[in-house]
Structure 1
Amino acid sequence: MDQGIAAALAGIAGLIGAGIGGITAARGARIGAETAARATSLQVRDQATVDHEHWLRGQRLEAYKELLEAYDEYAIAASNVGRIFDFEITDSGSEHGRAFGQSVTAFRRAYFRVRLVGPEEIAERAFQLRSRIEDHNSCISELGDALLGRTDCSVAALRETEEELRLGLADLHSGFREEAARVLVQPSAVTHEDLRHAN
């Protein structure tokens, strides 16, 4: 074989080798870029999950705090109305009656905020507490009407019912507080699927 043909064959082999090497390098670069992009995407998604969990925990803390404060306002206002019924407070009671009505409204508003941020088990506790407050509120209204002679209901029976409801409120309040504390310290179960639905 003459030297010219050998050189041409060597050149062709070199070009083929370079072409294969270039294709392999390009393929490796593409795979590397795809791997880096996937890793970045997962990192961004994981950070979004952490950020969302942090935000949600803050929203829950504020909502639970608002509900507990609203409960305290309700308990004080209801106690003042009870003291009027027992003639321990001798003013007209209109200011206390207004405060009582406002405390019921404030509790309802706080309850709906808790329902929004959840989770379901805390929303259920809040629902039980709200239901008992609504019953207690109705009982106090009925007791007021009975004391003023507007109904034939037994004052003694209504006082007994009011006391039972008040004691039940205290138990439900404690249960809500305990469940809220548990929810706030446990890690959130927010998933990537939850984030996809939220956005």
Structure 2
Amino acid sequence: MRILVVEDDKDLNRQLNAALTGAGYAVDQAFDGEEGYFLGDTEPYDVVILDLGLPKMDGISILEQWRRASRNMPVIILTARDRWSDKVSGMDAGADDYLAKPFHMEELLARVRAQVRRASGHAKSEIECGPVRLDTKTARVTCDGQQVKLTSHEYRLLAYLMHHGGRVVSRTELVEHLYEQDFDRDSNTIEVFIGRLRKKLPADVIETVRGLGYRMSRGADEA
């Protein structure tokens, strides 16, 4: 999953980047409104964390322009605690959630997980695809009840496929959602990670759809 953080406070941006990366996300950072707007307008993100009080272009204007352009990725806005009017303006502009500063990082991570689940049609924090279970709260993967140890990139790939279980996901989409903007992207590495996952999971869990991509069967946990 790929996250965009638009926050001009460099210390907070760094803390958010560290926490999100530690939780298994690919993170892009922007430190002013113009850069944040451009990234959100041109790159695919699973969630955007957007401060409202930004230099060069304010968060409300950014959000309004994204929504007018049908950029529908979930957006969590960050507001000052005493600016309730900012919360109202942000929600009216198309935000999906808000968080008041200062906040606990665990709460932010929980809200990010919730938005990722909601966008992919999952209500519960645990996702099942056949014998494979993903606990999004703990980033723990099990197969038939036994924990499966994964590298960070293996986890990102499996988590994306499981969140989108039941549909074919192309290699291009996987590359766009698994790697940061500055990462040396090569779609051939997806095949390498798929091969590694198949060695750690039942071979038929991840289906190759020739010429299109990969698919994991959707579990019975979601209607």
TM-score interval for Structure 1 and Structure 2 normalised by the shorter chain: under 0.3
TM-score by length of 2: 0.22
Task: Choose between structure 1 and 2: higher strand proportion.
Answer: 2
Structure exhibiting the larger radius of gyration computed from Cα positions: 1
TM-score by length of 1: 0.24
Does 1 or 2 have the higher relative contact order (CA < 8 Å, sep 6+)?
1
